[in-house]
A and B are shown apart, each in its own frame.
Chain A
Amino acid sequence: MGKEMKKHPIIVCRCENVTLEDVEKAIDEGYTDLESLKRKLRIGMGPCQGRTCLPLVIRILARKLRKSPDELLIPTSRPPISPVPMKVFLAEGEDDNEE
């Protein structure tokens, strides 16, 4: 059990298992905005909705493009912000009569 045992990747997105190498390669290939990176790599689309990866990816992209993070367009947040069991939406109640 030593440090020579196993080389580990650098993970950027824990949900979708995206590495730093994946992100940097995609940026070099021309995916130079967060929306395109999201569509190519699914960053920000896993169950944590970008809470782990996006702050990192924003800084990586800004550094690569030599821009300030506030010049980047941040992806839109949409419901649900965290996973919700489907059965919740099947709940029956007063609303069924109301609408």
Chain B
Amino acid sequence: MPSSKKIDRRIWEHPILEFKRGKEVRFYFEGEEMKGYEGESIAVALYASGIDIFSWTEDNRPRGAFCMIGKCSSCFMVVNGIPNVRTCREPVRDGLRIERQRGLPDIPRVTRDEEGLESKTLETDFLVIGAGPAGLSAALKAAEYGLDVILVEDHFRLGGQLVKQTHKFFGSKDLFGGLRGFQIAEELSKKVSSNPKIKVFLETLAYGVFKDLTIGLASKKGHYKVKAKNILFSTGAYENYLAFPGNDLPGVMGAGGAQTLMNEYGIRPGDKVLTIGAGNVGLIVSYQLLQAGAKVKAIVEAMPQIGGWVVHAAKVRRYGIPIYTRHTIKEVWGNNRVEGATIVQVDEKWQPVPGTEKDIDCDLVIISVGLTPDTKLLAQTGAKMKWIPELGGLVALRTKYMETTVPGVFVAGDAKGIEEATTAIVEGKIAALTAVLRVLGHVDKAVEERRQLVQYLEQYRQSPLLSRSRRGIEKATIES
């Protein structure tokens, strides 16, 4: 095995991002001393130092970075003797001992140093689960009207996937037009952290829904049962996987995983890239990979035309990146990491056309074939769900005020169906205002504000660019 000591995948110069790294820390990976920086997760610090393999399956298949946002299971490792630690969510610190797992881990030895865990029942007007654009906006809006808010987030920082969005937002100033996604995240997070009405639980998992809609929270500090008058599920989404030989090899990564590495942490996810999927995400991530110093060899798209907006496609084409429509990935090869891939043309029935194979020299394959709303927790409330392909799969039916079929249970952002951050911000506010009205009774100002926001969303979605999600929204909306 090559020495990993000299590899540093950190980006030190970037055209638009500046990475503020914390204090240097030293930890041990399988006995070898390694360095990382405060503010990095364990998985990120390892990847930055050239570690591609995070675990081995029982039959010796290597697994590496895949989603990087706490949704998959590919970064589970043994940390200080505790197995199955989700290392993409675990801050790196001095002195940690980290080992890979092979198949099922051993049962950990009982340790006695875990005293001080608390168990509490909490009550609140408004529980918000997920601190992305929808959740942050909702928490702020509810607090503005005097509600007590609890905001829960499994990551160690606020912002959700906004923290890795580097493009400037379109739209009006009050919806952050002109700002880049991560700047919006910074602004919202600062406001939330300094708001005395909002109690923030970071590194906390809302793991289940119980009797009378009590929500169970688990963190390193303890166990909490939250009884809330209103609950917003702003739990985001996870990336769709794609079936092809070698799809589990390290170096095959979700588009969002690559984005997390390069834009949130400043780590180059690979040097030579093949992107699968020419929707907006595939196009934008390909462009961002260029900014991170990688070479993008090709973008393939199975549909006969590019799915993303012309403006994004034009951007990557200016850099000479070929976009192959009616093409798909046939396979990847490599032993412990992607060493190349074969793409192939498909016919009208999506069947590969023999003789059209092309080999692509790459060490990173980005899967960007859509997202699925994360409704795992929401579904436990008993809210009525429906499969709506335009919104990415199974979603909750809800009113235009974002309330599901369970009174007081709300959904907003990608969890209600895949759209983007601007609509998530507006939906979060609409949900919060509805919660305000449920707690305080009739408030003229809240009613009027909500009316305007609902109207804004309706107009925003009239754009032909958004016709698909508009169709989905219509199918998911029920009478209020």
Answer yes or no: are A and B bound together in one complex: yes
Complex contacts, A95 vs chain B, CB 8 Å? 119-121, 225
CB pair B340–A52 under 8 Å, yes or no, is no
Mark contacts of B300-314 with chain A using CB atoms, 8 A cut-off: 1 yes-contact digit, 0 otherwise: 000000000000000
CB pair B118–A17 under 8 Å, yes or no, is no
Complex contacts, A72 vs chain B, CB 8 Å? 387
CB distance from B380 to the nearest CB of A (A): 6
B380: contacting residue among A2, A77, A89, CB under 8 A: A77
A8 CA to B219 CA, complexed, in Å:
38
Q: Does B87 contact A (CB under 8 A)?
A: no
Q: Does A12 contact B (CB under 8 A)?
A: yes
Given A5-B333, A55-B372, A91-B119, also A79-B243 (CB < 8 A)? no
CB pair B332–A8 under 8 Å, yes or no, is yes
Residue of B nearest to A96 (CB): B119
Within 8 A of B (CB), among A62-99: 68-70, 72, 74, 76-85, 87-96, 98
Given A10-B243, A81-B376, A88-B117, also A3-B59 (CB < 8 A)? no
Within 8 A of A (CB), among B209-232: 209-210, 216, 218-219, 222-223, 225
A81 CA to B205 CA, complexed, in Å:
9
A20 CA to B331 CA, complexed, in Å:
14
CB pair B248–A14 under 8 Å, yes or no, is yes
A83 CA to B238 CA, complexed, in Å:
17
Q: Does B177 contact A (CB under 8 A)?
A: no
B216: contacting residue among A8, A55, A79, A93, CB under 8 A: A79
Interface residue SS majority, chain A: loop
CB pair A14–B66 under 8 Å, yes or no, is yes
CB pair B245–A7 under 8 Å, yes or no, is yes
CB distance from A51 to the nearest CB of B (A): 5
Q: Does B9 contact A (CB under 8 A)?
A: no
Interface size on A, residues (CB 8 A): 52
Complex contacts, A5 vs chain B, CB 8 Å? 333, 335
- For B82, B154, B218, the residue with the greatest tally of chain A CB atoms inside 10 Å of its CB is B218
CB distance from B297 to the nearest CB of A (A): 15
A49 CA to B222 CA, complexed, in Å:
23
Within 8 A of A (CB), among B18-72: 57-59, 61, 63, 66, 70-72
Q: Does B393 contact A (CB under 8 A)?
A: yes
Q: Does A15 contact B (CB under 8 A)?
A: yes
CB pair A82–B119 under 8 Å, yes or no, is no
Q: Does B81 contact A (CB under 8 A)?
A: no
A52 CA to B63 CA, complexed, in Å:
14
Q: Does A48 contact B (CB under 8 A)?
A: yes
A24 CA to B182 CA, complexed, in Å:
42
CB pair A49–B376 under 8 Å, yes or no, is yes
CB pair B249–A8 under 8 Å, yes or no, is yes
Within 8 A of B (CB), among A1-43: 1-3, 5-12, 14-15, 17, 20
30 residue pairs from A and B, CB less than 8 Å apart: A1-B335, A5-B335, A8-B249, A11-B248, A12-B241, A12-B243, A17-B61, A47-B73, A49-B376, A51-B71, A52-B73, A52-B238, A53-B241, A55-B372, A56-B240, A74-B387, A74-B394, A78-B208, A78-B380, A79-B208, A79-B210, A79-B216, A79-B380, A81-B206, A82-B154, A85-B218, A91-B117, A92-B117, A93-B120, A95-B225
Can you name 18 extra interface pairs (CB under 8 A) apart from A10-B244, A20-B243? A3-B359, A9-B245, A10-B243, A14-B66, A14-B241, A52-B238, A56-B242, A72-B387, A79-B216, A80-B216, A81-B208, A84-B207, A89-B223, A92-B117, A92-B119, A93-B120, A94-B120, A94-B121
